[in-house]
Structure 1
Amino acid sequence: MERKSAAGSIRNKERSKKKFLDAVGKILKTKGYAGLKVNDIATTAGVDKKMIYTYFGGMDGLIDEYIRSQDYWINATTDKTDKILPDIKDGGEAFIKEMLLSQFDYVYTNKEAQKLLLWSLSEPRKSLKKLIDTQEENGEHIFKYIFHPYFKGNSQDFRAIMAIMVSGLYYLNMFASVNGSIFCGLDMNSPEGRERVKRAISFMVEQTYENLNSQED
């Protein structure tokens, strides 16, 4: 009987935590980060605001957990890296192509992720800085064990190219969502325009591998 009661309490706690996290996402999408207030989150979640402190230790803990749950690179890199590492024979070309193409779609379809990106550019916050630091740590793991051995002396150039590509994918998606859809004559909200960008992503990755690797020979 006690065991069933304990299991029920755990399930209730997890349901309530999810309600809070979902409420943060809903408010972030509709009102932006300025609308993330304790009372509003509790009302949206339909859970007593005291539980924010019980489950998360306060607003910072809640926001930290929400941010971790939404970040593409934190959620994707570890799983994908663990699966693909044993089979890497191409210097990570297929891996990084898949990651960039997946990220392009993820940010486009996830309005909460877009808001987090805008938030990270608009306001200094410890939880956002922690998110960025974690992204960099995950990225460093990938660069060190996959790309550096392949590109060797050109690995810093590879980093620079990836920085431009990732930031470009972020911007194109946020631009299409907020203030317009036509960029360089391509409609970023149309299947045709997005498919052209995807082909360009694949092309740039292939050219990067072909040219940087040949320089090392």
Structure 2
Amino acid sequence: MMKDQGQSLSPTREKILDSFCSILVEQGLANATVTNIAEKAGVSKVLIYKYFGGLDGLVKCYIQRGGLFPKLTNFEQILLNETSLENLQYIWYLKFKQISINYKESNEYKALIEEGLLSNSKVAASITNVIDGEINSFFKQLSPIEGIDMEAISALLISGLSYLCTFEKKNRLFLGDTFPSDQSWNRIDSAIKTIFSSLGKAK
């Protein structure tokens, strides 16, 4: 489970979140009920409601602290203050490279994204709302590139990554190669780099 190092929770809350993660990956979100999570964590269901307000609140806490959409480092903030086009392109690329890595390596986020995209459940709606909020917070960190709709470009990239995650376990073909493979992920990274390095150069 990816964790935001800037946040810390009590051991009991950590245990509950880890139990949720374990059930999510091994059995799917449909089995990640308050009862099952409490049983796996060895705690009372009352504690889950006390700490998180229920399953929706638990999912929200899990997504918000997980770091799927990375924060700026001090070095990146310094680069952004210089506001050159090259710096902006570089920072946007680095952030999306990290998002791509997170999508690639986090089985629990793949399960959440798949549920959010394909299910009509109340929890699925909560997942998409929280992820959308995290995406908006992510955008607010980054300086815009003049004359470029960075939110639309970013939305297309994130949508593409989310779509790929929904059929990763099905071993579907992607550009002639079985997805996922290191080669296919390297091609995705190269494409992201090309997109951001070309922004602002052809208006």
Does the TM-score normalized on the shorter chain lie above 0.5?
yes
Once the two structures are superposed, residues 71-112 of structure 1 have per-residue CA deviations (whole angstroms, 9 ceiling, x without a partner) of 511xx13x44x5423322333111111111111111111011
Instruction: Check 1:187–1:209 CA distance in 2 against 1; reply closer, same or farther (3 A cut).
Output: farther
Residue of structure 2 equivalent to 1:105: 101
Task: Find 1:184's aligned residue among 152, 172, 175.
Answer: 175
Give the direction of change, closer, same or farther, for the CA distance of 1:59–1:127 in structure 2 (3 Å limit).
same
Paired residues of 2:60 and 2:126 also in contact (CA < 8 A):
yes
- List alignment gaps of at least 5 residues for structure 1: 1-10
How many aligned positions are there? 189
In structure 2, the CA distance between the partners of 1:201 and 1:186, relative to structure 1 (3 Å rule), is farther
Find the counterpart in structure 2 of residue 7 from structure 1: none
Q: How does 1:125-140 map to 2 (within 5 A)?
A: 125=123, 127-140=126-139
Higher helix share: 1
Show the counterpart of 1:4.
Answer: none
Partner of 1:203: 194
Q: Hey, what does 1:6 align to over in structure 2?
A: none
Aligned residue identity for 1:180: N
In structure 2, which of residues 40, 46, 70 is the aligned counterpart of residue 44 of structure 1?
40
CA distance in 2, matches of 1:117, 1:129: 8
Aligned to 1:60: 56
Partner residue, 2:159: 167
Is residue 2:84 matched to residue 1:90? yes
Q: TM-score, normalised by structure 1?
A: 0.75
In our comparison, the structure showing a higher alpha carbon Rg is 1
- The alpha carbon displacement at 1:188 in A equals 3.1
Q: Corresponding residue for 1:70?
A: 66
Give the conservation status (yes or no) of the 8 Å contact 2:90–2:196. Answer: no
Provide the rounded CA distance (Å) in 1 between the counterparts of 2:197 and 2:19. Answer: 41
> In the TM superposition, what are the counterparts of 1:22-41 in structure 2 within 5 Å?
22-41=18-37
> What stretches of structure 1 move > 6 A for 4+ residues in a row?
none
Unpaired segments of 5 or more residues in structure 2?
1-7
Q: How far did residue 142 of structure 1 move?
A: 3.6
TM (norm. structure 2) is 0.80
* RMSD of aligned alpha carbons: 2.5
Rounded Cα–Cα distance in structure 1 between residues aligned with 2:132 and 2:152: 18
CA contact (8 A) 2:148 2:200 kept: no
- Cα offsets for 1:5-62 (capped at 9, x unmatched): xxxxxx9x81111111011111111221111212211111122222212322333332
Q: 1:53 to 1:165 in 2, by over 3 A?
A: closer
SS of the equivalent of 2:180 reads coil
Counterpart amino acid of 1:132? Answer: I
